[in-house]
Structure 1
Amino acid sequence: MFPFGTRRSAKRAVRRGAAQLTKLLTAAAKPPRSAVRTKPKAAAKVAGIKKAGAPKTGTPKTGTPKTGTPKTGATVRARKADASRKAPGRFVAIDQLRVHTIVRGRGRPVVLLHGNGTMAEDFAICGLIERLATRYRVIAIDRPGFGHTARPRARIWTAVEQAALVHRVLEALKVERPLVVGHSWGTLVALALAAGGLRELRGLVLLSGYYYPSRRADVTLSKTLAMPGIGEAARAMMNPAMGRLVAAQAFRHVFRPQAVPPRFEAEFPVEIAMGATQLRASTEDASTMNTAASGLQQTYPRLQLPVAILTGDADAVVDVDEQSRRLHGEIAGSTLKVLPGLGHMIHYAGIGPVERAVDDLMAPAGKAPKAPRMSTPVGAVPGRA
């Protein structure tokens, strides 16, 4: 969700952000001016040294020196933000990793995989979980490091590794032959799950996806932020006020040309999205997206399952022709629907076509179930005019 597009204005914005980040990190590394200019006499007082007189008696206070990265106020706030919001779903334990899932409804299974920078709750806020749960068993999964799922550092969380984790989660939930819906970065995990052949899938619904490597300024910046030390320092500087400003800019970008929906503004957990864990996950995923796409693209022509591809023709994050149209040409029997005037978050303004794509792949030919009418419009907050 957060990666910027390939337009020149976006590249300039990313370069400016990188330059500002470099200045901040350089300034943070310098000792404070007051410490540099401390006079010897003052320094002696600070150190507790006296020029004359008997030394103090008694047992000196000792202690084990603290090691590791110091906890700044911003770091502590970020960690608290990660855990402060109550998880709306249930956890599935996979090798000591507690994976957060939102499970609703009954029937044949539909699995939802979110994009970069978001989480499983995104599908609840847009209304897709509620609408699909009237006739399907819906399982939305927080990918590693997003929402309420941790991201262990001992593992490199490539799209293939994340697909293997999703497979284990579905196994634990006794899910058989699911339809997998992926949005943005989540499409890479969906395609890796299909290509790996770990389980039989009913089909794929791919929304605003990224399928082929390309030159992107955000990938370069993310590689820098994903480096140990630099990333931690940058995230420590992200106080709540700065986090809200960065998030607001990112939201406007990914929803463009649509406005950010009121319900999204009211309910999306920004404190988690801008917390230390999810920021690290976002930068790591963004830095590896070209590698992931490059490794998967050779498998596309060999896919032997129904695939529905949906995208907006006004997407400011991914190029429609270079990504969705090209994929449609490589997967035999796939369908492509380009939604006019819609941006990257098509599961909001384009929730109707997304829902119909799910129904088309879930039902026998010509017998797709009729989607029920919803009393509350998507993007609106119940109780608000």
Structure 2
Amino acid sequence: MNLLRRSSRPALAGRSLAWAAGALGALALVNHLFARRAERRHPPGGTFIEVDGVRLHYSDRGTGTPVVLIHGNMVTGDDYNTSGLAELLLKSHRVIIFDRPGFGYSERPRGRVWAAAEQAELLHGALRQLGIERPIVVGHSWGAIVALALADRHPADTAGLVLLSGYYFWTLRPDVWMVSLGAVPVLGDILRYTVSPIFGWLTMPLVKRALFSPARITRRFAGEFSPAMALRPSQIRATAADGALMIPSVLDLRHRYPMLSMPVTIIAGDGDKVVFKRSAERLHRSIKGSNLRVVKGAGHMLHHLEPRLVAGAVEAIAKPDQI
């Protein structure tokens, strides 16, 4: 009897592993199909450019002083269209919006560490190919770090910065360790093709509320933002990797903030629960001559809540004598 029990255990373990592998395979197939359906429903609306072997998706519209918009984590460049900010700027500016590497329809090749400095260099190369000289650069959240890296590395090519809800100095961030799991080789690949999209769907309502809190989610964001695009395995990898690289990126930059000499406007929400306003206040103290605006009752998604304020900050840099 004991021999029969012992011989049945490996068989049972083998069947369990087979069932688990089958379940994971089924989840991977379902997530793949959902990702393809999301892309059919939200096809690329811009153009592609290849820079340093990386295919970037971008839009380039309007005429006038060039303004480059760099989006944050989880979303794509289209977030600036949803917010209404691009529409306001297009009245008097040439507006260029990039999907950062791995987001939307831009590639994120493996084997390269896509910290803020590397992303900034890639976007700078794209701007040179497009013949865009001295743009005003607007960055939101993670995009604000990329904007700072771009200005730090290429100050002569940056007319000014408008930084929204940015994370500028190292702080203890428990959420970073959680999101970074998706960036771990092999384990991250398994997670993002299987359980991570499901977890993302379950938590997305809470995430969206946290992004806007204490304000309400805008109708336009609720109607136009696509969780399905954000939860594609490819974009989960980019989101996770950026989460892991956020602290190293600001550690690399923090000592060079005082060297920035172009006009800099920093805008923060006093109720931001993602990045507390004290980060913006500290950056303001670090950059001589910078302007700081703290918006009462606003959360992390400032460009959705106060697009006219952000557009006004761009105009103040573009036409300082007329403000």
TM-score normalised to structure 1 length:
0.75
CA contact (8 A) 1:82 1:148 kept: no
CA contact (8 A) 2:31 2:197 kept: no
Deviations 1:100-137 (A, max 9, x none): 11222111100000011111000000101111001000
Q: Cα offset for 1:301?
A: 0.6
Q: Cα offset for 1:257?
A: 1.2
Larger Rg: 1
Instruction: Find the counterpart in structure 2 of residue 326 from structure 1.
Output: 282
SS in 1 for 2:139: strand
Q: Write the distance in 2 (CA, Å) between the matches of 1:149 and 1:78.
A: 19
For residue 171 of structure 2, the aligned residue among 214, 229, 240 is 214
CA contact (8 A) 1:254 1:316 kept: yes
Q: How do 1:235-384 residues align onto structure 2 when only pairs under 5 Å count?
A: 235-238=192-195, 242-321=199-278, 323-365=279-321, 367-368=322-323
Q: Write the distance in 2 (CA, Å) between the matches of 1:232 and 1:330.
A: 39
CA contact (8 A) 1:313 1:343 kept: yes
Q: Write the distance in 2 (CA, Å) between the matches of 1:116 and 1:38.
A: 41
Flag the 1:135–1:355 CA change in 2: closer, same or farther, 3 A. Answer: same
Q: What runs of 5+ residues in structure 2 fail to find an aligned partner?
A: 1-8, 16-23
Q: Write the distance in 2 (CA, Å) between the matches of 1:345 and 1:222.
A: 20
Q: How do 1:197-212 residues align onto structure 2 when only pairs under 5 Å count?
A: 197=154, 199-212=156-169
Q: Cα offset for 1:156?
A: 1.0
CA contact (8 A) 1:79 1:277 kept: no
Q: Cα offset for 1:223?
A: 3.0
Aligned identity (percent) is 40
Q: Cα offset for 1:225?
A: 2.6
Q: Write the distance in 1 (CA, Å) between the matches of 2:14 and 2:86.
A: 61
Flag the 1:115–1:234 CA change in 2: closer, same or farther, 3 A. Answer: same
SS in 2 for 1:118: coil
CA contact (8 A) 1:184 1:208 kept: yes
For residue 130 of structure 1, the aligned residue among 84, 87, 101 is 87
Deviations 1:270-310 (A, max 9, x none): 21111011111011101111110011001101111100000
Flag the 1:331–1:79 CA change in 2: closer, same or farther, 3 A. Answer: same
CA contact (8 A) 1:99 1:142 kept: yes
Say yes or no: does 1:36 pair with 2:12.
yes
Q: Which residue type is aligned with residue 106 of structure 2?
A: T
Instruction: Find the counterpart in structure 2 of residue 227 from structure 1.
Output: 184
Q: Cα offset for 1:35?
A: 5.3
SS in 2 for 1:167: helix
Q: Cα offset for 1:262?
A: 1.7
Q: Which residue type is aligned with residue 177 of structure 2?
A: T
Say yes or no: does 1:149 pair with 2:94.
no
Instruction: Find the counterpart in structure 2 of residue 103 from structure 1.
Output: 60
Flag the 1:198–1:83 CA change in 2: closer, same or farther, 3 A. Answer: farther
Higher mean C-alpha displacement, 139-148 vs 220-229: 220-229
Q: How do 1:165-176 residues align onto structure 2 when only pairs under 5 Å count?
A: 165-176=122-133
Flag the 1:229–1:37 CA change in 2: closer, same or farther, 3 A. Answer: closer
Deviations 1:204-232 (A, max 9, x none): 00000100011010111233331112212
TM-score normalised to structure 2 length:
0.89
CA contact (8 A) 2:155 2:260 kept: no
Instruction: Find the counterpart in structure 1 of residue 19 from structure 2.
Output: none
Q: What runs of 5+ residues in structure 1 fail to find an aligned partner?
A: 1-32, 40-68, 369-385
Deviations 1:166-193 (A, max 9, x none): 0011111110010000000001100100
Q: How do 1:67-78 residues align onto structure 2 when only pairs under 5 Å count?
A: 72-77=28-33
CA contact (8 A) 1:167 1:199 kept: no
Q: Which residue type is aligned with residue 286 of structure 2?
A: E
Query: Which structure has the highest helix share of the two?
Result: 2
SS in 2 for 1:155: coil
Q: Which residue type is aligned with residue 47 of structure 2?
A: R
Q: Cα offset for 1:199?
A: 4.8
